[in-house]
Structure 1
Amino acid sequence: MKQLIPILILLIFAGTSMAQQISIIPKPAEMSVKSGSFLLDNNCVLNYDNENTEVSRIATFFSDYLAEVYDVKLATEGSGNKISFKIMSRLNLGKEGYLLKVDKNSVVITASEPSGLFYGMQSLKQLIPAEASNALSIPCIDIKDQPRFAWRGNMLDVGRHFFPVSFIKQYLDILAMYKINTFHWHLTEDQGWRIEIKKYPLLTEISHWRDETRVGHQRDGNEMDGIGYGGFYTQDQCREIVRYAAERYITVVPEIEMPGHSSAALAAYPNLGCTGGPYKVVGEWGVFKDVYCAGKEETFTFLQDVLDEVMDIFPSEFIHVGGDECPKDAWEECEACQKRIADEGLKNEHELQSWLITRMDQYLTSKGRRLIGWDEILEGGLAPQATVMSWRGIKGGIEAAKQHHDVVMSPTTHMYIDYYQSEDKKNEPLAIGGFLPLEKVYSYEPVPEELTSDEAKYILGVQTNLWTEYIATTKKVEYMLLPRLQAEAEVAWTPKELKDFDDFGNRLNEDYKRLEKLGIHFRNHNK
C-alpha cells in the first residue's frame, strides 16, 4: 500500500497539471480531459468541405491564426494528423453548439451550423498554449458545448469619442474570441452624429463635429480644451463593418437615439426641435434639454427617413432607438407637443414619449424589424412589440418580462464597464465614476428571482456597455473592456452551476498570456 501512495500522488498531480492547461473562456458546458496530447506542427493536415463557403472561411481563419501567431503552416493534403471541421445537421445542440474532440491523432470540430463550428474553433485556439517552446501540443479532450443565452452582447459608444474602422474590426475580433454574438453600436449622441445619412447631408457636415471637449471629469470644473473634434462612418464603411462582423457570427445592432440625446442632430436641423434653436453639438457630458419635438410631423418624417437608410445598411432584426434620459422641459412649453397630447388623449409628457416610441415601434414592425430601447421606454406604457434593455438596475427587466416582452439585462450595477476597476481610483485612469470589479461582473445572474419559469423565458441574455465620455484612445477602450468582457462572456454562455470565480481567475491568467501575444491591452486583475 505504501508503494502505491507515491504513484497515486503522481497521478493526482498529473491530472491537476493537465486540468490547469484547459483555460477556455467561457467555460464549456461539458468537458472531459483525457490522457495524452495532439502534436500541432507543419505536418498536420487541415480537412474541411471546401465547397461550403462558410466552413472554408472558418477553417481558413484557424490556419491563418496558426501561421500568424505561431508560425505553424498547416498542410492541405498528406498523411499527417488531421484537424477537421465538419457540419452534421442531426446534432441536437442548437445553431451555436459544437462538439470538439481531440485525441493523439486527430482534432475534430462538429456542429450543426457554421456558427457552432466557429465557436468550436475559438475553443480550439484557447487549447493551444500561449507560451510554447519547440512544439505545440493540445491536450486530449472531449467537449460538448452550447450557450446558455441567445443574446451575448457588448455596446460601444462612438458618439462621445470616435474610433476608426480598423479598430472597430479589432474590437469585433476581441468579441468573437469570447463568443460574444451581438455588437450594439451606439452611433448618435449629443456630442456627435457618427453615421452618414444621404438624405440629410448636414448630419455629416455639421453634426459630427464639436468645437471643444470637456477637460477632466465633469464634476471637477468647466474647463474646455478648445480643440475641434469629429468623425463619422460612411455608409460603405458601416456595410464593411456589418460584413466583417457577420463573418465572425456577430450581429451589429445600430442605435439611433430618440427622442433625447439629440443635440447634434438638432444643430444641423433646428426645425426638428421645439424652439427652432439655435442648437449646438455639445462638448460637455451629461443630459441636455434639447430633444426632438414630438408634436411636429416633420420630426417623424426625419426619423423614419433615417431609419430607412439605417435598415438598408444593417440587416439586424433589432434596431435600437435609445429612449433614455429624455427631459420633458421643452415638451411642457411647446404648443405643438401640448396639442399632440390633447389630440391623442394622452395624460402627460411621459405618455407622449410612449406614444412616440410606439409610433416608431409600429414603423419598424411594418418593415419586418423589432424595436429595442433602454428601460425608460416603459414609462407611460410599453410599445406593443418593444424589447427592453434594462440598465437602471433590474426593475425594468422584471416589469417587461412580466408583461411578456423580451428583455436584455444590462444593469449599471454589474454591466457598466466604463466604471472604475479598483477602489484605489488614484492609480486608475479617469472613469465616469462607480466601482465595478471583475468579481462583481462575474457574480451576475441575468434571470431575476422574481420571475416565474415562464416569465424567465423572456430574458434573451445579457450585455456589457462601454460608454466613452472618458475613453478617448483605443488602448483605454481595451483596458476598460478586458477582463470584464471575459467575465460577462462566462455569465452569458456557461451554465450557472459550473461558474466558479477562482477557477475563472486561473483560466484568466493563462488568457492574459494570449492577449499579450496578440498585442491586446488589458487590466491584470491580480495587480
Structure 2
Amino acid sequence: MRLFKNPLNLIFAAALLLAACETPQELSMIPYPQFEKTTSKTVNLPATVTFSVNLPQPEMDDLLAYLPSYPLPMELSDKNPFVTIEVSEQTDTPSSAEGYKLEISKRGVNIKAKSATGAFYALQTLAQLARNGKKLPVTVIEDEPRFPYRGLHLDVSRHFFDKEHVKKQLDLVATYKINRLHWHLTDGAGWRLEIPGYPRLTEFAAWRKAANLQDWGKYDHHYCEKDEEGAYGGYYTEADVREVLEYARLRHITVIPEIEMPGHSDEVLAAYPQLSCTGEPYTSGEVCIGNEETFKFFEDVLNEVIRLFPSHYIHIGGDEASRRHWKACPKCQKRMKDEGLKDESELQSYMIARIEKYINSKGRDIIGWDEILDGGLAPNATVMSWRDTEGGISAAQMGHYAIMTPGSYCYLDHYQDDPETQPLAFGSYIPIGRTYSYDPAPDSLGTDITKYILGVQGNVWAEYIPTKEHAEYMIYPRIIALAEVGWTPQSKRQPESFKRRINNEIHHIKAKGYNPFMLSEQVKSNQTVDYAKKRIMLSLTSEKYPIDIRYTTDGSEPTASSKLYKKPFAVKDSILLTARLFDGKAPLGKSLRLRTDYHKAIGKQITYAKDGGYYQNKEVYKGGGDTGLLDGLRGGMSYMDGRWQGFCPNDLDATIDLGEVTSIHRVVANFMQVRTPQVFLPAKVEVWASVDGKNFTLLNTDICSEEEAGKDVIFRDFGWIGSPTQARYVRFHAIQGKKQFLFVDEIVIQ
C-alpha cells in the first residue's frame, strides 16, 4: 500500500502496467510471418466483415468467385469498410509480389500488397487470426515468402483421386500459402489423362483389377478394360482438368502436370506395345528411345498437356529408368551410334534434351527428377532433387534452377510415427519435427548457389495409400510444416513455437472435415554421449503440447504419480527407461521402452571381416562409419537417421577388441524390419567370444522365427545373454536371409 504514496512510484507502476499491455504475443498462425509486432490489445470482429478493394475488374471477379469458400463472411462495401485492401505495384512494402502488409488497429484492418496474390495471402493470415470469431489482435505484419516455389506433389497413378478430392486439398493448402500442385498424372500403375488419338490410354491403361496396389500382384500387374467387371481406376477428362485448374487459379496455385518418361511407362507400353524395345506388352517399363514413333507419341501427348495446362513448367519425370532393355535393343544401339552417344545414360539424356527442345519450342520449360543430371543435363532444365540434396546442389552449381524435395525430409508417404502403431507405409520414418527441421538453402552453400534454389515440395506417393482419408492422414500436418519451411525465413523458424501452433492447427483441420494425423502420442527420446565422463545424456520430448512426460528407470509402467520429466538426465551404467505421455492423470498412447547402456565396448576397436563390412554407397547408411556401432548412440525409428548402419548384400561380421580380458554377460544389437523398402531382419545371429583372438567359442545362435520374418514392421534385439564369461574379443555375425538390407544401430557389450 505504501508504493503509491510517492508520485514517482505511481508513474513507475503505470509504466509497468503499460509495458505489460504491450508485451509481444505469439500469433497463432502458420506459416509464421517475416515480421510482426503484436500486443495483447484486441479489436472486435464484426459478424459480417465489410471490405473495399481497388483491384481491376477481372481480378475483382476472381476474388468474389473465391470468397464463398473463405471462412469469414465478407461483404463488399465502400462505406466505412472494416477491411481496406490496397493493391499497387508502387507500394514500398512489401517488395515481393506475393508479400503483403497487414495492419490491425482499433479502426479496422488495412492490407497493402503489390498484387492480387499478395492480397490473397493477407486474407489467409486474417482468417487464421480471426479463428475465435470475436476478436482480432492489434498487430502489424509485414510478410513475404522466402522461396517462390512451395509445392505439394500428389500421385494419382498408384491410387486414383477424383477431382473433388484434389480440389479439397487445394482449398486447404492454399490457406498455408502453398502455391504449386505437382500433379503426377502418369506412372506404371495407371494413366490418368484423356489424350485425343490415344484412346487405349484411358480405356485400358487407366484400369486394373485391384484398388490396393499390393493386391494387383495377384493379376500379374496387368491392366484391364474399363467396362470389365471389377475394374478399378479412373482418369480426368478435359472438363475435369479445366475445373481443377480454375479452382486452383482462384486460390493462386499453379498446377504443374507430370508425364513420366522414359521409365515408369508400363501402362503406356501395355496399351501401345510397339513403343517398347521388345514390341511386347509387360516386358519393360522403359520406352524405346531408338524408335521415332516414341517421340511422335510423347509430342502428341505434350501438345495436349500444353493446350490444357497454362503452367510455364511441364514435368517430364526422368527417374528410375532401367537401361538393360536399351543395351539389348538394336534400335537403341543404332540411335547411340548415330548420335555418338557413349553409353545408355547419354541415351536417356538425348531423349530428355530432345523433349526439352520440343517443349521449349512451345514456350515452356521442363522440370525433371534429379536423374536427368545423369549423362548430361538438358540446357534449360530445372532439377527436382529427391534422392537427397546433392542433385539440387549440383544443378545450382551449374547455373540451373532446383526444387528441393529430398526423400529424407519431404516424402509424406513415409511413416510419421512408430511404424509398429501405424498403417502400412513406404520406407523410412519422417516425423513432423524432421520435416520442419529442413533448410532447403542453408547459408553455408553461399548466395551463388542458393539463388538458384526455387523452393521446396512435399511428395505424396500412393503405393500404400488406399483411400482418400488415408491420403489426408499422410499429408497433414507435415505439408503444413513444409509450408512454413518454404515461406518463413530460417532465422524466424522456432521448433517450440511451431509445436504450440501446430497442436492448435490440427484441431481446426479436423473441424473442417479433413482427416489429419493428430500427432504422436508416444514419447520421443534423444541421446548424447559424454565420453570424458563416461555417461549418456538422455532427453525426452513430445509432439503433443501441452503435455506431461512421466517415466521410470526400472522397467515398470509409469503412472500419473511417476517422476515428471523436466530436463535431460545422465545414464552412467544401464537403465530400462519406460516413459509415457499424460494429459493430467490420463495416460496417452503406448509407452516408450528404451534400454540405455554406457557399455563396455563404447570407443573400443572394431574390425570388419573382408566380406562383412557396411554399405559404402550412401553416406547416411554408413551409420557413423568405423566407430558407429560402438559410439553409444542408439538409432531411432528410421534407418535413415544416421545412427543405423546398413549391410547389403553381405552379412555383418565384425570383431570387437575390448582391450583386455573382462567378464561379459550380455552381447546384443538391435535390428529393424520394414518390408516395404526391403529392409529385413537377419536370418540368424551368432555371438562368439575369445580370450586370445584366435580361439573363439560360440556363445549363442539367435534365430529369426518364421512369425517375425513375416511381419511388415518389427524392431528386435539379437544376441546373447548368459552367465558371466571371460573374453577380450567378441565376434558378432549377423547372417543375411534375403540378401537385402540389414540395419543395426549399436553392438552393446556388458
Q: Same fold (TM over 0.5)?
A: yes
- Whether the aligned pair in 2 keeps the contact of 1:270 and 1:277 (CA below 8 Å) is yes
- Whether the aligned pair in 1 keeps the contact of 2:346 and 2:374 (CA below 8 Å) is yes
CA distance in 1, matches of 2:15, 2:218: 68
Q: Which has the higher strand share?
A: 2
Compute the displacement of 1:327 (Å).
Answer: 0.3
Question: Aligned to 1:204, what secondary structure does the other structure show?
Answer: helix
- C-alpha deviations, 1:341-367, integer Å up to 9, x for none? 111111111110001101011111111
Compute the displacement of 1:15 (Å).
Answer: 5.9
Q: 1:449 to 1:494 in 2, by over 3 A?
A: closer
CA distance in 2, matches of 1:371, 1:380: 17
Name 1:19's counterpart in structure 2.
25
CA distance in 2, matches of 1:178, 1:372: 24
AA aligned opposite 2:339: E
- C-alpha deviations, 1:395-432, integer Å up to 9, x for none? 1111111111110011001000100001x212212111
Question: Aligned to 1:19, what secondary structure does the other structure show?
Answer: coil
- Whether the aligned pair in 1 keeps the contact of 2:383 and 2:400 (CA below 8 Å) is yes
Q: Among 113, 116, 119, which residue is 2:115 paired with?
A: 113
Name 2:513's counterpart in structure 1.
519
- C-alpha deviations, 1:252-285, integer Å up to 9, x for none? 10000000000101111111011111338xxxxx
Q: How does 1:222-261 map to 2 (within 5 A)?
A: 227-261=230-264
Q: Among 321, 324, 327, which residue is 1:332 paired with?
A: 327
AA aligned opposite 2:126: L
AA aligned opposite 1:228: A
1:374 aligns with 2:376: no
CA distance in 2, matches of 1:217, 1:6: 73
Name 1:446's counterpart in structure 2.
440
Name 1:85's counterpart in structure 2.
85
Q: Which runs of 5+ in 2 are unaligned?
A: 222-228, 522-750
CA distance in 2, matches of 1:446, 1:466: 18
Q: Which has the higher helix share?
A: 1
Q: Among 165, 172, 175, which residue is 1:174 paired with?
A: 172
Q: 1:344 to 1:401 in 2, by over 3 A?
A: same
Q: How does 1:158-197 map to 2 (within 5 A)?
A: 158-197=156-195
Q: 1:110 to 1:222 in 2, by over 3 A?
A: same
AA aligned opposite 2:33: P
1:351 aligns with 2:346: yes
Q: Among 406, 409, 417, which residue is 1:414 paired with?
A: 409
CA distance in 1, matches of 2:203, 2:502: 45
Q: How does 1:505-516 map to 2 (within 5 A)?
A: 505-516=499-510
AA aligned opposite 2:506: Y
Name 2:703's counterpart in structure 1.
none
Q: Which runs of 5+ in 1 are unaligned?
A: 281-288
* Range moving further from structure 2, 207-216 or 2-11: 2-11
Name 1:140's counterpart in structure 2.
138
CA distance in 2, matches of 1:373, 1:328: 18
- C-alpha deviations, 1:37-90, integer Å up to 9, x for none? 2222236422223753324543664565346xxxx56473655x5112221221
* Range moving further from structure 2, 87-96 or 460-469: 87-96
Q: 1:521 to 1:11 in 2, by over 3 A?
A: farther
- Whether the aligned pair in 1 keeps the contact of 2:21 and 2:40 (CA below 8 Å) is no
Question: Aligned to 2:207, what secondary structure does the other structure show?
Answer: coil
Name 2:495's counterpart in structure 1.
501
- Whether the aligned pair in 1 keeps the contact of 2:65 and 2:250 (CA below 8 Å) is no
Q: 1:119 to 1:125 in 2, by over 3 A?
A: same
- Whether the aligned pair in 1 keeps the contact of 2:51 and 2:74 (CA below 8 Å) is no
Task: Give the TM-score taking structure 1 as reference length.
Answer: 0.90
- Whether the aligned pair in 1 keeps the contact of 2:277 and 2:326 (CA below 8 Å) is yes
CA distance in 1, matches of 2:32, 2:177: 11
Name 2:527's counterpart in structure 1.
none
Name 2:304's counterpart in structure 1.
309
CA distance in 2, matches of 1:13, 1:450: 39
1:263 aligns with 2:269: no
Q: 1:161 to 1:435 in 2, by over 3 A?
A: same
Name 1:41's counterpart in structure 2.
46
- C-alpha deviations, 1:97-133, integer Å up to 9, x for none? 101111112112111110000111110010012x45x
Question: Aligned to 1:520, what secondary structure does the other structure show?
Answer: coil
- Whether the aligned pair in 2 keeps the contact of 1:41 and 1:73 (CA below 8 Å) is no
Name 2:677's counterpart in structure 1.
none
CA distance in 2, matches of 1:76, 1:526: 46
Task: Give the TM-score taking structure 2 as reference length.
Answer: 0.64
* Range moving further from structure 2, 477-486 or 227-236: 227-236
Compute the displacement of 1:11 (Å).
Answer: 6.8
- Whether the aligned pair in 2 keeps the contact of 1:86 and 1:110 (CA below 8 Å) is yes
- Whether the aligned pair in 1 keeps the contact of 2:258 and 2:314 (CA below 8 Å) is yes
CA distance in 1, matches of 2:17, 2:499: 25
1:32 aligns with 2:32: no
Aligned residues: 505
CA distance in 1, matches of 2:65, 2:41: 27
AA aligned opposite 1:100: L
Question: Aligned to 2:350, what secondary structure does the other structure show?
Answer: helix
Compute the displacement of 1:217 (Å).
Answer: 9.3
- C-alpha deviations, 1:170-201, integer Å up to 9, x for none? 11111201101111000001110000001211
> What fraction of aligned residue pairs are identical, expressed as a percent?
43
Decide which structure has the larger Cα Rg and report it.
Answer: 2
Name 2:207's counterpart in structure 1.
209
Question: Aligned to 2:310, what secondary structure does the other structure show?
Answer: coil
Name 2:472's counterpart in structure 1.
478
